């Protein structure tokens, strides 16, 4: 396992005013007993609502925050005690922070990082060439970082995090604030990186499209606890997300038919649009039965929506929708 976490906790002491002179101390658990095992080459989505403990976990995994309890190993190292050594073996991208030198051209930052991480010139040049190719850096590599657009800067950040050939790449909201084209570029790059299979990627994001397109495994954290660890399909199966069949009829039926293996979810447009959630039947069976009951004008099959199930997961007080 390249990342191994057992019983990870982080407690913060919060002081609140409790009278004219009195202050009350309260212990808040930002991370409350997280267990996590990540294999080399995995691409893991680590999601949760604001304040769930995602970034706190990431900080403990990278060695910049001391855990209150639990055991953490990243690349076989204890992050806090071996932070400097670990720094050579991991890459980190924080969507809202920059590791580039603000006043210098992007290319200078890359060259500087080569020295800071003591990367052999040939390896550095090879990785940089791949990033230039995949992320289209050439058009703005000569410009100072402060003059780059957010999308350009983020492409620079991704490159900067990879130039020393990290075994694990931690990404904390890397697509925050990006436009669609830049998001797409970042996603394609990460997908390509994952396909190569030698970099483990831990991705924290609020953009569920990132998760859907990139992650095979999803860990959902809420109130500091892991409430789901598995595939997106497993999440849908566990929380009852269903595929849906939506049909538009030529004329309303006298009463929407009850169908075995499907549940009528809604009737709209004066009875002309029916939506059925599939609870066992196939889409074909449902469509065939509906076609038998009345003339169909249009139909569509809607895949389960990750936004929907995750939204319900976040809203539920115990993390169970």
Partner 1 sequence: MGFVIATETAARQATIWSHVRICASLAAAGFRRYSTYRQATIAGAATNITFGLLRTYVLLAVAGGTAAGLAAGYDRAQLTTYVWVQQGLMVVTLIWGWFDLGDRIRSGDVVIDLLRPVPPVLAYFAADVGRAGYAVLGRFVPPVLVGALVFGLYRPARWYTVPLFVLSAALALVICFAGRYMVNATAFWLLDTRGIDFAWVLASGMLSGLYFPLRFLPEWFTLTVWIGTPFPSILQAPADVLVERVAPGPTLLIVAGQAAWAAVMMVACVVVQHRAERRLVVQGG
Could you list the residues that contact partner 1 (CB under 8 A)? Answer: 12, 50, 55, 59, 62-66, 83-85, 87-90, 92, 94, 96-99, 101, 103-104, 108, 111-112, 115-120, 123, 127, 130, 134, 144, 162, 164-167, 192-193, 195-196, 198-199
Q: Which residues contact 284 (CB under 8 A, 6 or more apart)?
A: none
177/261 with CB nearer partner 1? 177
Q: How far is the CB of 286 from partner 1 (least distance, A)?
A: 43
18/123 with CB nearer partner 1? 123
**DSSP 8-state symbol, 65:** S
Neighbour-count burial for 87-112, b at 16+ CB within 10 Å, e otherwise = bbbbbbbbbeebebbeeebbbbbbee
Q: How far is the CB of 118 from partner 1 (least distance, A)?
A: 5
71/85 with CB nearer partner 1? 85
Q: How far is the CB of 310 from partner 1 (least distance, A)?
A: 19
222/275 with CB nearer partner 1? 222
Q: How far is the CB of 309 from partner 1 (least distance, A)?
A: 24
| Residue among 172, 226, 158, 234 at smallest CA distance from 203 | 172
Q: How far is the CB of 261 from partner 1 (least distance, A)?
A: 45
Q: How far is the CB of 17 from partner 1 (least distance, A)?
A: 17
62/275 with CB nearer partner 1? 62
166: helix, strand or coil: coil
184/188 with CB nearer partner 1? 188
CA-to-CA distance for 5 and 62, rounded, in angstroms? 12
Q: Are strands 90-94 and 168-172 parallel, antiparallel or unpaired?
A: parallel
304: helix, strand or coil: coil
Please provide the DSSP assignment of 239-303 as one string: TT---EEEEEESS--SSPPP-TTEEEEEEETTTTEEEEEESSS-HHHHHHHHHHHS-EEEEEEEP
């Amino acid at each position: 396992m390249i990342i191994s976490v057992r019983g990870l906790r982080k407690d913060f002491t919060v002081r609140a005013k409790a009278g004219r002179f009195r202050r009350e101390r309260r212990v808040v658990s930002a991370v409350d007993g997280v267990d996590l095992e990540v294999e080399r080459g995995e691409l893991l989505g680590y999601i949760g609502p604001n304040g769930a403990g995602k970034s706190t976990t990431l900080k403990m995994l990278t060695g910049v925050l001391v855990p209150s309890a639990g055991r953490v190993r990243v690349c076989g190292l204890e992050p806090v005690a071996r932070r400097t050594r670990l720094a050579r073996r991991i890459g980190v991208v924080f969507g809202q922070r920059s590791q580039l030198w603000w006043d210098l051209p992007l290319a200078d930052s890359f060259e500087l990082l080569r020295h800071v991480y003591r990367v052999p010139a040939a390896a550095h040049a090879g990785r940089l060439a791949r990033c230039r190719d995949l992320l289209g850096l050439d058009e703005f590599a000569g410009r100072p970082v402060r003059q780059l657009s957010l999308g350009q800067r983020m492409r620079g950040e991704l490159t900067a995090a990879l130039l020393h050939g990290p075994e694990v790449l931690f990404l904390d909201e890397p697509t925050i604030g990006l436009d669609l084209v830049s998001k797409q570029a970042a996603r394609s790059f990460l997908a390509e990186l994952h396909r190569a299979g030698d970099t483990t990627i831990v991705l924290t994001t609020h953009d569920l499209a990132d998760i859907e397109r990139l992650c095979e495994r999803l860990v959902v954290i809420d109130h500091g606890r892991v409430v789901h660890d598995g595939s997106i399909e497993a999440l849908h199966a566990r929380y009852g997300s269903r595929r849906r069949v939506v049909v538009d009829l030529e004329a309303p039926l006298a009463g929407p038919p009850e169908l075995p293996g499907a549940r009528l979810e809604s009737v709209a447009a004066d009875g002309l649009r029916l939506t059925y959630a599939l609870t066992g039947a196939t889409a074909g069976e449902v469509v065939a039965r509906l076609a038998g009951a009345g003339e169909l004008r249009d139909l569509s099959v809607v895949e389960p929506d990750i936004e929907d199930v995750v939204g319900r997961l976040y809203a539920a007080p115990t993390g169970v929708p």
